[in-house]
């Protein structure tokens, strides 16, 4: 509803400025989704009506976050739906870039509220942005970055209140990635719950969680015990699944996650050594560790997360530009 109102108001403003404009709902714009209302995924954009309006010289305003299902029901896309709508439209229209205007002016080497000396990054890769989004960076939602990577749409994240360049999110092969640092950013989240589960097979556990549309972040298996984490807002649904499965389980809501992310770590040894030495020097105990080729994620106590972010940001010299740590 808010998107429709905003589109209508923007169209009125454009008319006042002398421009022809048309306001479309998601369904009118041809955004077709699956049937999972509330968390629907875009499966197709039938952009005929948009093309016709553009051919007539009109400015087209499309309400994000919504579409029409394959069963002809109005759907909403869930978290990140508006950004995903923008990327899907850019893909369908063959746009050279999708610009995302938001309340921040780009992607930073850390949250500036935690590290005041954090720098805005000129460019990051799709893979780095996916890891950052999954690790707590709130600039872009995971789904929109996945859509952009899958369809090769460059993203430009920039401020709604400034004409300054923001951060470009592109493929690693893009020429703008030549100045790549070993570590791009330190991301964090304090909104995670870690579960320890026994007495239920992994296949049954995660298929049931998937059926309940629970987003699982980290998974470890140690012997018969399965350890995994979920965002804090998935806690109630996860606990309900575990009760239904009659599993033996415990949960810890007092952990946070700090993640060091950088495509350069693939070819530079020593990142893990620097990470763990830094945390140890600052008296921080790591409860759980997971890795990918371009990320090291450590769970620490929630009240120690910001100290860990500041320490790692300094250890990798992120305030000073591309680093050789």
Instruction: Indicate whether 306 belongs to any domain.
Output: no
CA distance 292 to 273: 15
Q: Which residues of 89-107 are buried (b: 16+ CB within 10 A; e: fewer)?
A: bbbbeeeeebebebebbbb
Question: What was the pLDDT predicted at 175?
Answer: 64
Angstrom distance (rounded) from CA 216 to CA 209: 8
How far, CA to CA in Å, does 62 sit from each of 48, 146, 219, 249? 13, 21, 38, 45
Q: Does residue 307 lie within any of the structural domains?
A: no
CATH assignment at residue 83: 3.40.1160.10
Find the domain containing 12 and state its range: 1-95
* CB-neighbour burial class of residue 250 (10 A; exposed 0-12, middle 13-18, buried 19+): exposed
Percent helix, strand, coil in the chain, to 5, is 35, 25, 40
Q: Quick one: CA torsion of 201, 207, 211, 212, rounded to 10 degrees?
A: 50
Instruction: For 129-145, write each residue's pLDDT tens digit.
Output: 999 999 988 899 888 99
Q: Tell me whether residue 287 is in a domain.
A: no
Structure confidence at residue 325 (pLDDT): 38
Residue 124 has pLDDT above 90, yes or no: yes
64 domain residue, yes or no: yes
Q: Name the DSSP class of 108.
A: B
Total domain count for the chain?
1
Q: Residues in the chain, how many?
A: 325
Model confidence band, residue 1 (pLDDT cutoffs 50, 70, 90): low
Q: Is 56 inside any structural domain?
A: yes
What's the pLDDT at 192?
Answer: 87
For residue 310, the Cα-to-chain-centroid distance in whole angstroms is 22
67 within a domain of the structure (yes/no): yes
pLDDT single digits (tens) 187-198: 999 988 999 999
Among 130, 159, 148, residue whose Cα is nearest residue 261: 130
- Once rounded to an integer, what is the mean pLDDT over residues 117-125? 94
Coil, helix or strand for 121?
A: coil
Please say whether the beta carbons of 20 and 57 come within 8 A. yes
Does 262 score more than 90 pLDDT?
yes
Pairing state between β 219-222 and 123-125: unpaired
What tens digit of pLDDT does each residue of 283-320 get?
999 999 999 999 999 999 999 999 999 999 999 999 87
Please measure the distance between the N-terminal and C-terminal CA atoms of the chain and give it in whole angstroms: 49
- The answer to whether residue 211 is domain-embedded is no
Model confidence at 178: pLDDT above 50: yes
Spatial neighbors of 139 by CB under 8 A, at least 6 apart, are 102, 104, 106, 107, 132, 133, 157, 167
| Cα angle value 111/112/118 (rounded, 5°) | 95
pLDDT on residue 318: 95
Report the pLDDT value the prediction gives residue 229, as an integer from 0 to 100: 93
pLDDT confidence tier of residue 9, bands split at 50, 70 and 90: confident
Report the alpha-carbon distance of residue 68 to residue 237 in Å, rounded. 26
Q: Is residue 249 part of a domain?
A: no
- On the question of pLDDT at 106 being above 90, the answer is yes
Complete DSSP assignment for 232-283: GGGHHHHHHHHHHTT-EEEEE-SEEEEEEE-GGGGS-TTHHHHHHHHHHHTT
Sign of CA dihedral 152, 157, 160, 161: negative
């Amino acid at each position: 509803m808010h998107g429709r109102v905003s589109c209508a108001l923007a169209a009125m403003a454009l008319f006042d400025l002398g421009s022809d404009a048309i306001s479309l709902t998601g369904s009118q714009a041809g955004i077709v989704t699956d049937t999972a209302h509330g968390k629907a995924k875009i499966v197709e954009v039938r952009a005929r009506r948009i093309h016709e309006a553009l051919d007539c010289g009109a400015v087209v305003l499309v309400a994000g976050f919504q579409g029409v299902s394959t069963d002809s029901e109005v759907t909403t896309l869930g978290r990140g739906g508006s950004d995903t709508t923008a990327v899907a439209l850019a893909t369908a229209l063959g746009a050279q870039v999708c610009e995302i205007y938001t309340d921040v002016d780009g992607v930073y080497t850390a949250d500036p509220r935690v590290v005041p000396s954090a720098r805005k990054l000129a460019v990051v890769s799709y893979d780095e942005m996916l890891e950052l989004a999954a690790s707590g960076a709130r600039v872009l939602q995971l789904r929109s970055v996945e859509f952009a990577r899958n369809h090769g749409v460059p993203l430009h994240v920039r401020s709604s209140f400034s004409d300054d360049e923001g951060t470009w999110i592109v493929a690693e092969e893009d020429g703008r990635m030549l100045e790549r640092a070993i570590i791009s950013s330190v991301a964090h989240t304090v909104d995670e719950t870690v579960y320890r589960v026994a007495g239920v097979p992994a296949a049954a556990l995660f298929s049931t969680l998937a059926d309940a549309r629970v987003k699982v972040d980290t998974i470890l298996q140690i012997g018969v015990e399965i350890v995994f984490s979920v965002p804090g807002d998935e806690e109630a649904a996860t606990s309900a699944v575990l009760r239904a499965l009659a599993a033996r389980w415990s949960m810890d809501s007092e952990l946070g996650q700090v993640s060091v992310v950088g495509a350069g770590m693939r070819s530079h040894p020593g990142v893990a050594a620097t990470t763990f030495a830094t945390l140890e020097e600052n008296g921080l105990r790591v409860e759980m560790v997971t890795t990918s080729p371009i990320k090291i994620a450590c769970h620490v106590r929630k009240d120690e997360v910001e100290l860990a972010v500041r320490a790692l940001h300094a250890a990798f010299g992120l305030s000073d530009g591309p680093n050789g740590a």
